[in-house]
Amino acid sequence: MTTVTTRTIEYAADGLMMIGHLALPAGVDRRPAVLLGPEGVGLSDVERRRADALAELGYVALAFDLHGGRYLGDPEEMLARCTPLLADPDRMRGIGHAALDVLRAEPRTDPDRIAAVGYGTGGAIALELGRDGVGLRAIATVNGLTTGRPEETARIQCPVWAGVGSEDPIMPPAQRDAFTAEMQAAGVDWRLVVYGGALHAFHHPPVDHIVLPGVGHHPQHAQRAWRDVVGLLAECLPITE
C-alpha cells in the first residue's frame, strides 16, 4: 500500500476557524489534487478516510470543514446552519475558496490540476466554485444537486458528474430536473446517475445519532458511487507517474 501522510490544517472561513484534513501521497513531486466536501453534518472520519483513499491513488486531497471543527449530529442544529448557508451562494463560495486556497498552497499540489468532489452541502459548494468560474478539472456532487444563479452556470469550465438516490425525498425528481435543465441550458458537460432504491446520503455509513427522514445507507450503491467518482477523476485528472 502506498504510504500516505496526513495532517490537520486550520484556516479561517465563514467567520470560523476551520479544521481540515490533508492527505498526501508518497513522494515529493507535484500531483493533481482533490478538494473534498462533506455532508451538512460536517467533516467526520468518513471524509477523512476518503481523502486518505484518494491519496493512496496518488492525489493530494483536502477534506474541508463546514462548521469550525464541529460535527452537527443534531438534525435541527444542522438545518439551522445549513439552510441559510445553502441559500447564500456567496457564503458557500467563501467557504470553498478558503479551502481551495489551502489546497493550492500545499507544495505537492499541481495548482492547474484540481477537482472538487462533494457530498450534500459539500457538493453544493463544489458546484458554486464552478459557477464562480474557478478553473477546476472536474466537479462531482452526490446528493447536492442544487441550482444556482443560472446566468453564472455557463462559467463552469469542466465536466460535472452528479449522483442521487431515486428515493431521495430531499433531492426529489423535480429538483433533479431543475438541476439538469440548468446544466443543459448552460452548455455544461454534465451527467447524472440515479441509484435505484437509494435514499439521501446513501453513500454514508450508518451513524449513531438521529438523522433526517429519508436518510439511509445503501452499501452497494455507496461502493458504486465511489467507483463512479474515482472514474471521473481518472478521466479528467489522470495520475501520470
CA distances to 8, 124, 197, 221 from 162, in Å: 28, 11, 16, 14
Question: Would you give the distance in Å from CA 221 to the centre of its chain?
Answer: 17
Q: Which of 146, 142, 139, 140 is nearest to 124 (CA)?
A: 146
Residue 26: per-residue pLDDT: 95
- Give mean pLDDT, residues 58-82: 97
> Is the pLDDT score of 2 beyond 90?
no
- Give mean pLDDT, residues 39-66: 98
CA distances to 162, 196, 215 from 144, in Å: 8, 17, 13
- Give mean pLDDT, residues 64-87: 97
- Give mean pLDDT, residues 171-181: 97
User: pLDDT of 97-142, one tens digit each?
Assistant: 999 999 999 999 999 999 999 999 999 999 999 999 999 999 999 9
Do residues 126 and 89 touch, judged by C-beta distance below 8 A?
A: no
Q: Which class for 67: exposed (0-12), middle (13-18), buried (19 or more C-beta within 10 A)?
A: buried
User: Measured between alpha carbons, how far is 58 from 84 in angstroms, rounded to an integer?
Assistant: 36
Residue 240: per-residue pLDDT: 81
* Alpha-carbon dihedral 91, 92, 94, 95, rounded to 10 degrees: 120
Q: Which single residue is written with the C-alpha cell 474515482?
A: 230
Q: What are phi and psi of 109, to 5 degrees?
A: -80, 130
Residue 151: per-residue pLDDT: 94
Q: Between vectors from CA 109 to CA 32 and to CA 232, what angle results, nearest 5°?
A: 20
Q: How confident is residue 161, by pLDDT bands cut at 50, 70 and 90?
A: very high
- Give mean pLDDT, residues 66-81: 97
User: Measured between alpha carbons, how far is 205 from 45 in angstroms, rounded to an integer?
Assistant: 11
Long-range CB pairs of 74-79, under 8 A, 24+ apart, other chains included: 74/209, 74/210, 75/210, 75/211, 75/212, 78/40, 78/41, 78/42, 79/40, 79/212
DSSP run (H or E) holding 128: helix 121-131
Residue 241: per-residue pLDDT: 62
User: Measured between alpha carbons, how far is 47 from 66 in angstroms, rounded to an integer?
Assistant: 12
Residue 1: per-residue pLDDT: 54
